[in-house]
Chains A and B, each alone.
Chain A
């Protein structure tokens, strides 16, 4: 475990389903992030939270809805996704300008 725990590790969902991804960090960091990584593509920043306040939304479609109830927990709520949303979703946390610690990711498949 890296100190950042993501669940579930794998998720298969239909286009009409609603599901949520969960991330928890045990490192006392003040910032948390959601990244998307599609096959053979670089990491794409989706959302940034600092002290549980959203500071960046990188033009992400509204079918992705983040929630950060406190500095240790981050959720990504999913609804009416498209097959092209299938990817590895990574959560990360950091403290100030230090490097990020990533979770193991959720491998999402939309059918």
Chain B
């Protein structure tokens, strides 16, 4: 089993819709969870961090964490074309592990 698994993409959503990204992880010691956004040809950029079970909202982004199920998700509300990118899930156990990423395309 891979350390971090993300829902396979690409994910195509119309402008204004909700994009839903899922991530499961295998390392039970993971305590911190991060979502990164990576535009094509660019480096990853941290967009969300979550440390405790439940929801965390930041603007149009909501992260949800369930440590018992080893599951973390990211919702992007009112999706914009500028949200088109690859989103990387990154749980932190003793080091940061990255998933393969889910590529999101927002159709205008």
Complex Cα distance, B90 from A93, in Å, reads 15
Selected from A41, A43, A94, A98, the residue in CB contact (under 8 A) with B88 is A43
Flag if A99 contacts B90 (CB, 8 Å). yes
Is A105 an interface residue when CB atoms closer than 8 A count as contact? yes
Chain B positions 82 through 108: 1 when the CB is less than 8 Å from some CB of chain A, otherwise 0: 000000101010011011110000000
Contact B43 A105 (CB under 8 A): yes
Q: Are B92 and A97 in touch, CB under 8 angstroms?
A: yes
Asked if A97 contacts B34 (CB within 8 A), the reply is no
Stretch at the interface among B11-19, B44-52, B62-70, B73-81: B44-52
B47 to chain A: closest residue by CB:
A99
CA distance A99 to B92 in the complex (A): 8
25 contacts between A and B (CB under 8 A): A2-B43, A42-B88, A42-B98, A42-B99, A42-B100, A42-B101, A43-B88, A45-B95, A56-B95, A88-B41, A90-B44, A97-B92, A98-B32, A99-B49, A99-B92, A99-B96, A100-B34, A100-B44, A100-B46, A100-B96, A102-B45, A103-B43, A104-B42, A104-B43, A105-B42
